[in-house]
Structure 1
Amino acid sequence: MSERESSLDRDVRRSVYRVFGWGDIVMDIPKDMRRISDYSASLGHKTNHAKLNNAEFSFIKHPRFGEIIGIYATKHIKAGMEIFVDYGYIEKYQATQGIIENMLEMMRVTGGWGNKKEFNSDLKRTIGYFRNKVDEMKPLIKAVKMARTFL
Structure 2
Amino acid sequence: MFTAVPLNLPSYPAKISKKADQYYIFDALRKKHLLLTPEEWVRQHWVNHLHQHYHYPLSLMHIEGGLKLNSLQKRHDLVVYNRLGQGILLAEFKAPTVKITENTFHQIANYNSQYKIPLLLVSNGIEHYYCRIDFEKGDFTFLSELPSFG
State whether TM-score is above 0.5. Answer: no
TM-score (norm 2): 0.24
Larger radius of gyration between Structure 1 and Structure 2: 1
Higher fraction of helix: 1
Higher fraction of strand: 2
TM-score (norm 1): 0.24
